[in-house]
Amino acid sequence: MNSGMYAAVSGSLAAMKRLDVISNNLANINTPGYKKDKMSFEGMLAGDINPPAVPSGTTADPIMQKENIYIDYASGTASQSGNPLDLALDGDGFFAVTTPEGTAYTRQGNFRTSVDGTLVTVDGYPVQGSGGAAIRIQGSKVDIDANGGVTVDGSQVGVVSIMDFAKPYNLTKTGNALFVPADQEAIPQAGKAQVQQGYIEGSNVDSISEMVQMIETNRYFETCSKVIKGFEDMATKAANELGKI
């Protein structure tokens, strides 16, 4: 297979992966706290500027070496919901929640209470308070201040834990709105974000931008497919002509 065919195949694979990323972003456009994924297209191909490591004396094919997908942590737009258990963060930081695999972090603040009054996420994971303790809400009037202090019927029952990490963030998605540190040794620090009660942070996906990228990627994929077809036709023609000699 010649280098032109390799390049066209690489482009097709990159386009397919990018379409998967865009489709997932669009599917989560209404998911509170969702952070969209982005893909560096150039990073998908082996090039002359940053060639892949190959054994001495050999030449690398210009084929896809690895994908370069990263998370865009830009804040989504906060909208007022009127639900006292809905919380949005104004600034950098994450809510800490307890999952079966350990502590995870999220910006998804559409919380609710479980049967025993524990403040939990939509997936049922307890929201951590100071020291990692669960927060139990048993009463009628719930007030949560900018620092995360939770007061029920006039009595404080806990403080919502707001944590942050050193930048640039090195986090891994464990769900559409949950993150864990890629480095298990990473130590979270107290976040400086302010809590907004009665608000929900939406997804940071821009539907128009994603649709434009989808159209561009589809066109690119079609172009690569035509190039591959052209090389196949050339190879077939060459084989037929050689057979006549």
Are 96 and 161 in contact by the 8 Å Cβ rule? The answer is yes
Digit-by-digit pLDDT tens for the chain (245 residues) are 555 666 777 778 888 888 999 999 999 999 999 999 998 755 444 555 455 444 544 445 555 545 688 999 999 999 999 899 999 999 999 999 999 999 999 999 999 999 999 999 999 999 999 888 999 999 889 999 999 999 999 999 999 999 999 999 999 999 779 999 999 888 899 999 999 999 999 999 999 999 999 999 889 888 888 887 776 666 676 666 665 55
| Beta strands per DSSP E along 57-113 | 69-71, 78-80, 87-90, 94-99, 102-106, 112-113
Contacts of residue 28, defined as CB under 8 A and 6 or more positions apart, other chains included, come to 34, 36, 176, 203, 205
Comparing CA positions, the residue from 139, 185, 193, 186 lying closest to residue 161 is 193
What residue segments make up the domains of the chain, in order of their start?
3-73+205-244, 93-199
